[in-house]
Structures are given as C-alpha cells and as structure tokens.
Amino acid sequence: MAIPFKGTKEQEAKLMEVIAAHKDEKGATIPVLHEAQEIYGYLPIEVQTMIAEGLDVPLAEIYGIVTFYTQFSLNPKGQYPIGVCLGTACYVKGSGDILEKIKEILGIDVGECTDDGKFSLDATRCIGACGLAPVMTIGEHVYGRLTVDEVEDILKKY
Amino acid sequence: MSENVNIKINGAAMSVPADYTILEAAREAGIDIPTLCYLKDVSKTGSCRMCIVEVKGARALQAACVYPVSEGLEVMTNTPKVREQRKLTLELLLSNHDRKCLSCIRSKSCELQDLADELGVEGISFEGEMTEHDIDNVSPSIVRDNKKCILCRRCVNMCKDVQTVAVIDTMERGFKTRVSTAFEKPLSDTACVNCGQCIVSCPTGALYEKDNTKEVWDAIADPEKYVIVQTAPAVRAGLGEEFGYPMGTPVTGKMAAALRRLGFDKTFDTDTGADLTIMEEANELIERVQNGGKLPMITSCSPGWVKFCEHYFTDFLDNLSSCKSPHQMFGAVMKSYYAEKNGIDPKNMFVVSVMPCVAKKFESGRPEMEADKLRDVDAVISTRELARMIKQAGIMFDKLPDEEFDVPFERASGAGVIFGATGGVMEAALRTAADTLGGKSVEDIDYTEVRGIEGIKEATVNMGGMDVKVAVANGLGNARKLLESIRDGKADYHFVEIMACPGGCVNGGGQPIVPSRDKMDVDVRVQRAKALYSEDVNSKIRKSHENPDMEILYSEYFEKPGSHKAHELLHTTYIKRNKY
Ligand code: SF4
Ligand code: SF4
Ligand code: SF4
Ligand code: FES
Ligand code: FES
C-alpha cells in the first residue's frame, strides 16, 4: 500500500483512449479494468479513480468489482515476483508453511508487494513441477524440494 | 392500469393486479411473509431467502419478494418445508453474526431479532468462523459496524439508487464479502453526505448514529452550564412512535414536558429559527430577483443536500441561499441576542439541537458555523437519541401533561412547523414573499401544489403581478434529476427547495426506524407529514413574518433582514469538495 504510484503520462494517455473507446457502452467497466491492468500491471486508487471519473461509475462500485474478481490486483508486481505453489502435491509436502515463512520474513500478505517494490507474493495453483514439491518460483527461477529453513537464504540472494 | 390475475394463496382464491409479486399479493390478503433483504421502493435483490414459499409446479422453494404472480398461480406460504427452510436459513445467518443483543443499539427494533423470535430459533447449531471487522466511527454522523451486517444490501441500494451518492457497496466475495467504501476508507473520507438514509434502511445494528447523548447529560449535570434545547419541527411528528403512539401523532406538548424534566434550563422550538430563516431567505430571494442575482435560488436548510451540492454540483454553489439552517440561526441568536438580554455569559451556554437528521451533527461541526469563536450549536442529538434519554431518565412519556415551549419564542408560526415536510420551506417562503411582493396580506395561503411526496413538484405562483416559478425536490436522486434539467437549460425557476431525505425531514435519517414490513402497509412520509400540516392549520399564526418574535428580534437586534448583523450571525458560505 505504501508504494507510491508511478504512472506515466503515456500510460495515462493510453487509459484515456481505452475509456473513450468504451464510454457509453453498457457493461464497459470490466473490459476497461482489464485493459487498465494491462497498462499499469495493477489497479491502484489513482487508476480506479480515473476510470470512475471517465466512465461516470461510482468508485465504490469499481472497487467492489476489482475486489470481487481474483484476476484484478490492487498491488503492483515486485521486481521479483514470488509464487508459492499451493497445489495438492506441494501443499501435502508443506508449502503452506513455506508461504507463512515468506510472509513473516517480508512482512506482506499474499497479493501484496514489499514497500521497496522488490518482492511481491502470490499463492499459485499447480505449476506442473509436482516431482519437485514443494515448489516456489521467483521470477523465472524455480526452487524445488524446499524446506522452511532454506527460504531466508534464498531471499537474501536477491 | 394493469389487469388482474386469479391466484390461490394457502388455498384461498383471490384476484390481484398482474404486476404484483407473491409477497405483495399475500400481504394484501393479510398473510405475513418474513422478509429481510426486501425494502419497498428501495431494495429487491431476492438474496436472503427468508421469504421463500412453495409454488405449485416449481421444484425449488421460491423467493416471494421477487416472484411475479400469474394466472392460476398456487402458493403455499406456511408448510412444514417452508418453515424448516426459513429457520435453517436464519440459523446459518446467525452463525456468523455477533449476537450481542444486550448491548446492541437495535435490540427491540431489530428485524433479525424479530425473525429469530418469530421463527422460533432456539439454538444455533453451527458455530461458524466469525468474520473480523473493525468499527468505523470516524464520521461525526454515522457509525458502521460490519459485525452486525447481514449483507442484505438495503443500505447500498438506498445510497446508490435512491440517493445517487453511491459511496458504499459490497466488496470481495464469499466469506470475505462485506459492505464497505472504496479502498476501505472511513465514511468521513468519502463523499458521503451524512443523510443517514442507510441507517433507517438497515434491519440490524450494523449502521447507527454517532451518539452524542453523553455530552448532553454532562452539560445538564454541570451547574456552571446554561443548557438550552431546541427541537426541529419533524421531531414532534416522529417521537411518539418510540413510545407506542400511532405513526403521525404529533406529541409537541409531551415532548416539551419531557425536555423540561430532563433538566434543560430552557426548552425552545426550532420553528422560531425557521421563521427567522424565512425572513432572511424571502428577503434574499426578492433581492436576487430585483437585482439580477443568481437564480434559481436554492434552499440551504438540509445539510445533506448542501454537502451533496459541494461534492457533486459545484457549479450550483452560488445558487445556494446563504442562509444558515434554522437550528444554526437559532443557536446563533441564543449566544448573542438572548445571552445579552438575559445577562448570561455565552461561553457558559450549551445549545442542544434535537433533530430528525444525522447530517445536522456534521453541519453543527462545520468551521463556518460560529461567530466570535462561539459555536452556534454545541451538540446535536437525533429523535432516536432523545427517546433514549427520556427512557434512561425514567420519564413515562404517555403520562406526561401537555406543556408549552418556554417564553419567549413560544409563538412560532405554522409556516415554521411545515418546514419538516417536503415542500414546507417553499410554502412558508411563498406565504411571506406573497405578502411582501403584493404589499398586502394574502388570504389564500395553502400552496397545495408543492405538498405531497412526489419526487419533483413544480408550480407557478403569481405574486404582486409577477409569475414566480418554483420547484421542489426531495431525495437526492430527484435533486440530481432536477439540477441536471436546470443545467441543461430544460427548466428555469426562480426558487427551488431541495431536501436530502425522501419526503423531507419527517423521514430523516435520525427519525424512529420503521420495520420494513410495516413500510409495505403505511407510507411513513405521508403519515408523519399529516401531523405537521394539522399543527399548521391549528396555528393562530401561519405566516413567518406575522410571528411577533420576528418583530422583536429585528427591532431590538437585527434591524432588518439582510442587515450587516444578520449576515454576521445568520448567513454562511460553502466550499468545493472532491468527489473522490
Ligand atoms: S443486530 Fe439485532 S440480532 Fe444482532 S446483536 Fe443487534 S439486536 Fe441482536
Ligand atoms: S449517510 Fe447517506 S450518503 Fe452516507 S453512506 Fe449513508 S446513505 Fe450514503
Ligand atoms: S449494513 Fe445493514 S442495510 Fe447494509 S447490508 Fe448490512 S445489514 Fe444490510
Ligand atoms: S502441486 Fe505444486 S507443482 Fe504441482
Ligand atoms: S429474498 Fe425475499 S426478502 Fe430477501
């Protein structure tokens, strides 16, 4: 939440185009939110306010939609997005504890981003690496057969 | 005119209009179906499933509040299956409810509690996980406690569809679903106008007024303080309901008696403030008309409407009358004229306003509402809070004698009384303006065109040879429509009255809460307004400018309407506020 909004003029111009294209269209909110998330990567208050003003839809309604659908995110992705697999195989092997450990170390919840913008945290479904369970990804990198004790050292490398 | 269809409810045949729902048809036949999420004219989400009934030929039980009647329809409202299912639904709801009725503000006026009683809930068999919520009590007017919320959405639909303010909505989904504001801000950081219509729509203790009774009790108990109370017109039209009187019974005399017994030093009537408002407002209108000022002039006595204008219609800020609302004017008169005249140090004065409104709490705290560093009004309590104080004090309301307000200021006009109903301020102003512009006393003073609960009313009144065009809107959705038509140049008026609450102050957010099922049978707005119009007809004085206290106030203190002193004490300014 504490990450300042860094939207650019170009992004704003793009969003305004999207809004103009959908204005007066019934049910425009969800498509516009999708495109806005494409542009900005997430949907902070600044972006939602522009959409509310642009489409003349109450901000509370927009926020209701954004929080209803899991594909919308209120927080930016970190420089290193972390994904902890909570698929069955990983979960059985203790990925839940790994997730808790990461939350504790970084002081953020699932769906959030650290204040310095470095890490963001997501819980994912099976990523098809069950043989390596429990599995975590940081960016493109996959860490398998993890133990809770290894987590801290891995994060330190970033 | 819609056609009728023949249906059977619980085996009895009946003919009902084709556009009815099962709920409406049953109600007319004297059959009560429990409801929770349904609120007439406001909310019809069909989500709570309390109103389920058996429909012949349908597999599942159906929600009566949304199910339309049709020819040959057969409905059973009271079978074992229906009763079982309703009870189960309610028990599920209660399993995630903070069931602390003993300390809940809505105990005894709670629809959830009533249903638990009616449906015979004995124990809650599932002890679910409880959702955690914080209480939002930052606003000076409204408190939100989601632990008591059953997600019926009545408040959301009121705020969004009726008032078109739309600052609350449902967020997230599943177990995390909650009613909240965008980005979970406190209500006071949004464009909420404090109308309190969400409160009077809520079936439970999830929404209520910020309680200010403690400050009032403390002031009364403080021997240093000279505590003055004033009551708005609509309070007398609603207060009786809290003590078992039928809706629409005016209880002015008993209310004055109760206030005296609570220990206030003086018990006055805000209607005097209303008369003063009319003196100033009529003068302002005439000045604007004669000097080419900004028209239409729009009334400013509804603080919910004023804040709405400040957020959403900033291009109309110059149209707002600069007059303070009646209770603010009256408070200012207390701390200046009245204090001087009676040798009271205004710093020791404590002015309490009893209002049908929770937006008045916000209004009295506005930085503009003071003169010489003295707040016009020190505390605002709602009709509901006054009823609580009377009960706490052990006063048996129905046993009280009828008493008068204190002298002076006991002679308010009938024009001041009708301020509490939509169209009342307009009518009061017309009575005075007609006499002023015509130069003689007009006999026919019942302006019935501006009475009644229609959302937008219009009239053209000839005064002293001039056609004055007026309009009245009640409820902010209607205000929005009216203002948009003025903005688009589709309508032009000289004078417009706007009240934030549907029906005006009689149906304000601080008035006694009427159960949703009663609202299907009676129109609160009509019943309570009747109490005011009957008091007006019976008044000896029915025009503000004929109230002898006006003569005294102007000759001894204010000189004339719109004078320098009047501007200092009785007028105010507005600001632009953001929408988000
Ligand atoms: S909201 Fe109703 S049921 Fe819930 S605690 Fe309050 S009185 Fe009891
Ligand atoms: S007080 Fe009025 S504006 Fe504020 S949330 Fe309630 S209904 Fe909406
Ligand atoms: S706050 Fe009250 S009216 Fe609003 S959804 Fe909850 S229970 Fe219903
Ligand atoms: S369950 Fe984790 S990778 Fe398949
Ligand atoms: S579903 Fe009918 S009252 Fe809620």
Name the residue range of residue A51's domain: 9-68
A73 belongs to a structural domain: no
* CATH code (residue A105): 3.40.30.10
Whether B565 shows a pLDDT value over 80: the answer reads yes
pLDDT digits (tens, 9 = 90+) for B151-173: 999 999 999 999 999 999 999 99
pLDDT digits (tens, 9 = 90+) for B23-43: 999 999 999 999 999 999 999
Least confident range from B127-141, B193-207, B256-270, B550-564: namely: B127-141
Q: How many domains does chain B have?
A: 3
Which alpha helices (H) appear in B458-580, and where do they start and end?
476-487, 516-519, 524-537, 548-553, 564-570
For position B546, what pLDDT does the model report? Answer: 95
Whether B209 shows a pLDDT value over 60: the answer reads yes
If asked whether residues B48 and B179 sit together in one domain, one would say no
Q: How far is B150 from chain A (nearest CA, A)?
A: 17
CB B570 within 8 Å of CB B329: yes
pLDDT tier at A133, thresholds 50, 70, 90:
very high
B210 φ/ψ angles, rounded to the nearest 5 degrees: -65, 125
If asked whether residues B202 and B227 sit together in one domain, one would say no
If asked whether residues A96 and A133 sit together in one domain, one would say yes
CA of A32 to the centre of ligand 2 (A): 27
Report DSSP state, residue B365.
T
Q: How far apart are CA B320 and CA B189, in angstroms?
A: 24
If asked whether residues B134 and B241 sit together in one domain, one would say no
Strand B142-145 and strand B207-209: the pairing is: antiparallel
**Which among B306, B328, B304, B323 has a CA at the least distance from the CA of B378?**
B328
Higher-pLDDT residue of A24 and B374 is B374
Q: Which of A63, A73, A75 to mutate to test the interface with B (most CBs of B within 10 A)?
A: A63
CB B325 within 8 Å of CB B498: no
A120 belongs to a structural domain: yes
**ipTM of model:** 0.92
If asked whether residues B193 and B50 sit together in one domain, one would say no
Region B513-539: what's the mean pLDDT?
96
Q: Are the Cβ atoms of B580 and A67 closer than 8 angstroms?
A: no
* CATH code (residue B65): 3.10.20.740
* CATH code (residue B132): 3.30.70.20
State chain B's maximal CA–CA distance in angstroms. 80
If asked whether residues A52 and A89 sit together in one domain, one would say no
Whether B553 shows a pLDDT value over 80: the answer reads yes
Higher-pLDDT residue of B438 and B541 is B541
Name the residue range of residue B45's domain: 4-78
Residue with tokens 């024009």: B415
Contact of A139 with chain B, judged by CB distance below 8 Å, is answered with no
CA of B76 to the centre of ligand 5 (A): 16
Whether B140 shows a pLDDT value over 90: the answer reads yes
Higher-pLDDT residue of B378 and A76 is B378
Whether B128 shows a pLDDT value over 70: the answer reads no
Annotated active-site residue B301? The verdict is yes
Q: Which ligand is nearest to the CA of B86?
A: 5
For position B452, what pLDDT does the model report? Answer: 96
Average pLDDT along chain B: 96
B575 belongs to a structural domain: no
* End-of-domain residue from the set A45, A68, A91: A68
User: Which residue's C-alpha comes closest to atom 3 of ligand 5?
Assistant: B35
Whether B131 shows a pLDDT value over 80: the answer reads no
Asked if residue B49 has its Cβ within 6 Å of ligand 5, the reply is yes
* End-of-domain residue from the set B209, B243, B271: B209
CB B397 within 8 Å of CB B254: yes
Q: Are the Cβ atoms of A62 and B182 closer than 8 angstroms?
A: yes
Which alpha helices (H) appear in B418-563, and where do they start and end?
424-438, 476-487, 516-519, 524-537, 548-553
For position A2, what pLDDT does the model report? Answer: 58
For position B103, what pLDDT does the model report? Answer: 95
Encoding tokens for residue B262?
A: 């609570």
CA A9 to chain centroid, in Å, comes to 23
pLDDT digits (tens, 9 = 90+) for A39-59: 999 999 999 999 999 999 999
User: Which residue's C-alpha comes closest to atom 6 of ligand 2?
Assistant: B198
List the single residue in A with minimal CA-CA distance to B177.
A68
For position B501, what pLDDT does the model report? Answer: 98
B88 belongs to a structural domain: no
B576 belongs to a structural domain: no
pLDDT digits (tens, 9 = 90+) for A58-111: 999 999 999 999 889 999 989 999 999 999 999 999 999 999 999 999 999 998
Q: Which residues of A touch B183 (CB under 8 A)?
A: 45, 63
Q: Global pTM? A: 0.93
If asked whether residues B183 and B251 sit together in one domain, one would say no
A94 belongs to a structural domain: yes
pLDDT tier at B1, thresholds 50, 70, 90:
low
In percent, the amount of chain B with pLDDT more than 90 equals 92
* End-of-domain residue from the set B184, B209, B234: B209
Q: How far apart are CA B579 and CA B304, in angstroms?
A: 15
A74 belongs to a structural domain: no
